[in-house]
Each structure stands twice: as C-alpha cells, then as structure tokens.
Structure 1
Amino acid sequence: MIDQVRRVAFEALRAVDERDAYVNLLLPALLRERRLSGRDAALATELAHGTLRWRGTYDAIIDHLTSARSIEPAVRDALRLGCHQLLSMRVPDHAAVSTSVELVKSAVGQRATGFANAVLRRVADRSLEEWMELLTTGVDPLAVLSIRTSHPAWIVAALGDALGPDGDLTGLLAADNQPPKVTLVARPGLCEPTELPGEPGRLSPYARILDGGDPSEIPAVREGRAGVQDEGSQLVALRLAEASVDGPDERWLDLCAGPGGKAALLGALAAPRGATLVANEVQPHRADLVRASVANLPNVTVTTEDGRAGPWADGSFDRILVDAPCTGLGALRRRPESRWRRQPEDLAQLVPLQQALLTRALELIRPGGVVAYATCSPHLAETRDVLAAAGVEPESVTQLWPHIHGTDAMFCAVIRRP
C-alpha cells in the first residue's frame, strides 16, 4: 500500500507535468482534501517542492543510468521522487525504493516495476556528492552549474548576464533552491502590521515574515485586510506610491493587475490621499482574483481591458504600474516548476508585449506623472532592453535578489514623464 503522503506528492508532480499546474496553488488544496496536516503535510510539501526544485539534477542521474532512454512521464516522476528521498532526505533506502516502485505500479502497472526498482537501487549506490563528481567531471562550467544547482543551462547563463561579472551567481542559484518563508502584508488603513504574527520585514514597513503555519488561519488574512505577498512585490508598489508627482495625484492605474496583490496595496496607499485606482487585468479569471484582493477597498475599480489598447484617454493618469507578464525567472524559489516550464523562445512573445504595455503606459501618463515598470524577472531582455527600446531614462532602478535581499528577484524602474 502507498502511504497517503507520497501519493499526494506524486499526484502534485503529475499535475504539474500533465496540466501545467502550479504546485504552490495545487498542493494546499490536495492536503486539505486528503486531511493531511502537521508533520504529514510538511513531509508531502518537502517531497513535492524538493523533487521539483532538484528535478534537473535527478534527471541527469536517471539519464546517466538509463542511457537517456525514453521513460514514461509517470515513471520518471516516481523515479524523481525516489531520488529525492534517497539523495536529499533522511529516508531509509528500502522505504524510498519500495514506495516509489509501488507508485510506478499504481500509475502504469506491473510491467515497469522491475525497471524502476533496478534504477533506484543503482541511485542508492552513491551519495549526491558522489553523483555530482561523476556527472560533472570534464564538463564545461555552465553545464556544471546547471547540473549541480538544478537550473536549465539557458537560465544559468541569463542570470549570470543579469548579475554581471562581479555578481555571486553560485549564491543566487543556491538561494533559488531554498524554500522561501511566507511573507505577509498589512494593507494600510485596514490592518496594522503589529496585528500580524512574524518578524518585521527588511524592506517594507507593512511586511511580516512568518516562521511557519498556515497564513489562511490568520483572521486579518481571511478577512482580506492583509495578504500573502513577497516583500519585493510590496517594494514595487511602494516605489510607485512614494515617487513625487508634479500636480494632482488623484488617478492611479495598475495596467496588469492580476492576481491582485500589488493592486490591493496600491489601493490601500491611495485611499488616504483621496486617490482612486483602476486595477486592470485582461484575463477574466485573474480579474476575479483581483476583485477578491481589493474587496475591502471602495476606491478601486477592476476592469478587463487589453492593456495595450484600453479605452482610457492619453494623459489621464497620475501614477501607473506596469507589472508586465514575464518569464518569472525571479521567483524560481517560490515556483520551482517554472524553471522547467519556461523556454528561451518564450522571450520572443513576452518582450514585444512588455514593450507595448510600457509604450501604452507612457501615453496614458500625464506630464509630471510617474510610471513604474516592473517584472518578476531579472533577464536583461525583459528589463534593461525593454527600457532601451522605449527610449526612456528611468529616474530610479531597483533590482532585488534572493541571495542578497531575501526576496524574489524583482526589477522596478520608475519613469517620470517630463
């Protein structure tokens, strides 16, 4: 029999592969459905998130042992799960192997159990470091970092370019593989930070960093007066709200507002100034998430327009946030599956969209107003190059890093229209 903890972790891995699910959204629902809590929930979370984080490393080991033969996706997920237990957790070898083989049997039948058993027993013959020494000997430096830190080579190269020659690339890649702590935001006017548990944040006066626990059990979070939001995302909203404007300060716009965290903070910051916020999100299901986030803020209106061609008049806003759709390479510690889902060719679609959204924002902002262009990606094509294509000189640029600031790698440029 397969224990419920490993079954839930395996189902999460399969949903990521089959349905492009996000494990941080899917897993809590699975845990509630199966009534797993406490140590069982923590173990299922480590199994699912850890396996996804280290998938590239485990795949390199599996491919070495199987001569890179084609393996059914469900079998490969079970092998990855077994590798994580054998190489990165204190699970006895026999338990890691037998439970993973049972998962193979339940997923595809008896025919693949012998294969899975043989592979995992050979995985157990070496420690993780011994495997790394074997697989990286005589390999070029980029491939070494890719295998050792479980990042696709193209992402390693892109992050290295963004950091520059003096940046700590190894430190950044290591930080991507550390589970982030949950950070809360107290929405001003609705909740005082002292009402929330946790330690104060380093960058945002509204942040509280939790040591553990379920944030949905916190009354202020349940009531929408506070939310879960990375401190880097909070800082983006603060950068826009704190920038000085010449003239009136009454109409704010969040051009790409889904899922609504920044819109809720902006709306709360705008309210005491008598300002209103238009929170726009082109995708209806994400617009629903925005509505839920801003439900306590009567000064916020949610719209579902294409941000590149909305109905607003040129020069009609005082502050605009463009939190552009991006590769999400700055949130790999929080969304480990993104590193396997994204491809270099995604930039060919995303960059023109980012450029078009910024161009439209620069038309919509009035003279003397400010635009904040933000991405949860430090990739130069999505940050520096987008600004260069728009022909703007930002007033300030902020680039955050997980290994330096303890946040997602948010980029934010504040642009003033003369």
Structure 2
Amino acid sequence: MVAYDVLAAVRDSDAYANLLLPTRIERAGLSPADAALATELTYGTLRLLGRYDAVIALAAGRDVAAIDPPVLDVLRLGAHQLLATRVPTHAAVNESVALARRVAPSAAGFVNAVLRTVSRREPADWLELVAEEADSPDAALAAVHSHPVWVIRALRAALEREGRGDELLALLEADNASPRVNLVALPGLADDPAELGEPDRYAPTGLTAGAPFELVAAHEGRVRVQDEGSQIAALALSRAAPVRAGERWLDLCSGPGGKTALLAAEA
C-alpha cells in the first residue's frame, strides 16, 4: 500500500517520491525487507511508467487515458512486478487484485484479467510488441525506454552535434539503470572500507557492499548510505588541511546530514 500511496500522490499532486517515500515507510513501520520492496516498487514503477502504460494499453485493449487513475496505478505496480522483478506471477497478480479491492472494488476483475494477459508474455516479447505498435520510430523509443518523444529528439540532437548519434540507445538504457548503492565507512568507526565491501573508485571512505540493511556495520552505525560525490565534497574540506581543534565548518548545501556526519567522524 505504501508504493501505491506514493504513486497516487505523485499523480494527484506532483509530489516528490524521494521526499514522500521515506515518511510513508516510517509511518507504516515496515521491516527493512518490506521497505526495500516498497522502494523498488515505487521507483521502479515510476522509472518505467511510459513502458508500462504502453504494455497495459495493449493488454487491456484500450488507451490508459480511459482507465480510472487509481486502477491504472494498481496495474502499473502489477506490471512492474511481472516484468521487472522476481516476484512470483501468482503473488504479483493476487496482491494487485487485493489492492484493487481496497481502492476500486468494482475493478478487481478487470485488474485480474489485464495482469494475467501481461503475465502470458515475456518482457522482451512485450517490448517488441510495444515497438511494433508505435506510430513512429521515435514513439517506439519513447515507449520502450519510457522517455517522452521530445526528450528522445533532444538527446539525439545533442549527441549528433558531438558526432555521437549512435550512442542514443546506450544513453537511454543507462538513464533507466538503477544506480548502485554507495556506502561510506565512517572514519574512527570503520577505518578500512575493504574489510566491509568493494572499495569505491574515487572516495577513499567509500565502498559498495550490497543491501545496506543486511550489513551489521550499517545497523551499528559504522556505515551509512552516501554517494561518492557527497563524500568527496566533505573530504575536500576535512583533508585539504589538518583539522584544528575549535575550527568551525558551515555546510551550505546540507540535506539529510550525510556530509556533516562524515565531517564529524573526520573531526
């Protein structure tokens, strides 16, 4: 229900999913595993919304504009589970139907029928069909890669100006790739990132070690989620010169406190 609520808020009020999702997860009291699933369902569905809408339109035999928005969001979540996750087919369909009964009871049968149709084809087959049904090459790229047509054309034009027009497909695929989760080993608490995972390329405090909620060091507060760029911004200050007692630092681009936590560990 958390993922559905966030999708509905994005649809109804242009909410920022990255700001709303953590609050909804905390309010629901989800376990780490359930929080990870809710996160994947939310971001994964939003990332490939255009693709899933094209698949749903074909499976339902109608344009998605003709489907009630709450029902469409249920179908989008179900399509993501069926086409892009390891959730078993029966579980994805059954949970989606159960969700439909909560938000639009009269549409439960419709949701069941559409998602069972989606489940009968492999993801690659759906992509091929979506591309075939598009009314232009750019529309096909837009649907398959979930980018608006105007973005497709703007990216192509930018690449062609650099003589790199043949890189468009690679760019679209990279744009949809899930970023890896970077961690920071806080100095004084976890001094050797290599002992906990694979050291990152640029940040000397950075590492990659899979799902954070599975790491003992993360539960102990010795490791935090933080991308390399954020780590380097903090380290550029703390390691440019020796830290002096009584020195004051001001973070003018503070967010959730990652750089401040790293600076505190450095101090």
TM-score by shorter chain over 0.5: yes
Q: Does 1:269 align with 2:239?
A: yes
8 Å contact from structure 2 (residues 183, 225) kept in 1? yes
Distance across 2 between alignment mates of 1:220 and 1:60: 44
- Structure-2 separation of matches of 1:154 and 1:233: 32
Distance 2:86 2:210 in 1: 22
Q: Which consecutive unaligned segments of at least 5 residues does structure 2 have?
A: none
> How far apart, CA to CA, are the structure 2 residues paired with 1:155 and 1:38?
36
Query: 1: distance between equivalents of 2:155 and 2:174?
Result: 13
- Rounded to whole Å, the distance in 2 between the matches of 1:192 and 1:168 is 40
Are positions 1:113 and 2:115 aligned together? no
1:151 aligns with 2:121: no
Mapped contact 2:51–2:143 kept (Cα < 8 A): yes
The 3 A distance-change label for structure 1 pair 79 and 296 is closer
Judged with a 3 Å threshold, the aligned counterparts in structure 2 of structure 1 residues 46 and 188 are, in CA distance, closer, same or farther, namely: closer
- The answer to whether structure 1 residue 231 and structure 2 residue 228 are counterparts is yes
How far apart are residue 270 of structure 1 and its match? 4.5
**CA distance, structure 2, for counterparts of residue 27 and residue 295 of structure 1:** 22
Q: Separation in 2 of the partners of 1:160 and 1:41?
A: 37
Question: Which residue pairs with 1:45 in the alignment?
Answer: 39
**CA, structure 1 residues 195+202, in 2 after alignment: closer, same or farther (shift >3 Å)?**
closer
- Counterparts in 2 of 1:13 and 1:98: CA distance versus 1, 3 Å: same
Aligned counterpart in structure 2 of residue 86 of structure 1, from 68, 82, 101: 82
Structure 1 residues 161 and 185, CA, compared in 2 at 3 Å: closer, same or farther? farther
The percentage of counterpart residues that share the same residue type is 44
Equivalence for 1:217: 219
Residue range with higher mean Cα deviation, 179-188 or 269-278 = 269-278
Alpha carbon RMSD of aligned pairs, Å? 3.6
In the superposition, relative to structure 1, how do residues 19 and 194 fare at CA in structure 2: closer, same or farther (>3 Å)? same
Match of 1:122 in 2: 117
> Which string of whole-angstrom CA distances, capped at 9 and with x for unpartnered residues, describes residues 327-363 of structure 1?
xxxxxxxxxxxxxxxxxxxxxxxxxxxxxxxxxxxxx
Equivalent residues of 1:55, 1:80 under 8 A apart: yes
The residue correspondences of 1:370-409 to structure 2 (distance < 5 A) are none
CA distance in 1, matches of 2:257, 2:116: 51
After superposition, the C-alpha distances for 1:287-339 in whole angstroms (9 at most, x for unaligned) are 5x3777436759xxxxxxxxxxxxxxxxxxxxxxxxxxxxxxxxxxxxxxxxx
Query: Residues 78-110 of structure 1, C-alpha deviation per residue, up to 9 Å, x if partnerless?
Result: 0101112233334454443332222122113x2
* Counterpart code for 1:229: Q
User: How far does residue 189 in structure 1 lie from its aligned partner after superposition?
Assistant: 8.9
- Give the SS at the match of 2:212: coil
Give 3-state SS (helix, strand or coil) of 1:208's partner. strand
Q: Residue 187 of structure 1 contacts residue 265 of structure 1 at CA under 8 Å; is this kept in 2?
A: no
Which one has the bigger strand percentage?
1
The gaps in structure 1 that reach 5 residues or longer are: 1-6, 222-226, 238-261, 282-286, 299-418
Aligned residue type for 2:260:
V
> Match for residue 316 of structure 1?
none
Match of 2:53 in 1: 59
Q: In the TM superposition, what whole-angstrom CA distance separates every residue of 1:228-279 from its partner, at most 9, and x where no partner exists?
A: 3323455xx5xxxxxxxxxxxxxxxxxxxxxxxx4x3443235527797654
CA offsets, 1:163-193, max 9 Å, x none? 5443633223223333222112457799745
SS in 2 for 1:219: coil
Distance 1:44 1:121 in 2: 22
SS of the residue corresponding to residue 207 of structure 2 reads strand
CA distance in 1, matches of 2:211, 2:225: 13
Q: Deviations over 1:116-144 (max 9, x none)?
A: 33433333343322222222126433322
One-letter amino acid matched to 2:177:
Q
Match of 1:294 among 246, 260, 266: 260
Q: Displacement of 1:200 after TM fit?
A: 1.1
Q: Secondary structure at the match of 1:16?
A: helix
Name the counterpart of 1:4: none
Q: CA deviation at 1:76?
A: 1.2
- Conserved in 2, the CA contact under 8 Å of 1:188 and 1:269? no
CA gap 1:296/1:203 in 2 versus in 1, 3 angstroms: closer
2:8 pairs with 1:14: yes
TM-score, normalised with respect to structure 2: 0.73
Q: 1:58: Cα distance to partner?
A: 0.6
More helix by share: 2
Q: Is the 8 A contact 2:81 2:92 kept in 1?
A: yes
1:178 is aligned to 177
Pairs aligned (count): 253
| 1:296–1:194 CA distance, 2 compared to 1 (3 A) | closer
Q: Match of 1:153, as an amino acid?
A: V
1:68-87 correspondence runs (5 A): 68-87=64-83
What is the aligned partner in structure 2 of residue 104 from structure 1? 100
Q: Note the C-alpha offset of 1:59.
A: 0.7
* TM-score normalised by length of structure 1: 0.50
Structure 2 letter corresponding to 1:82? G
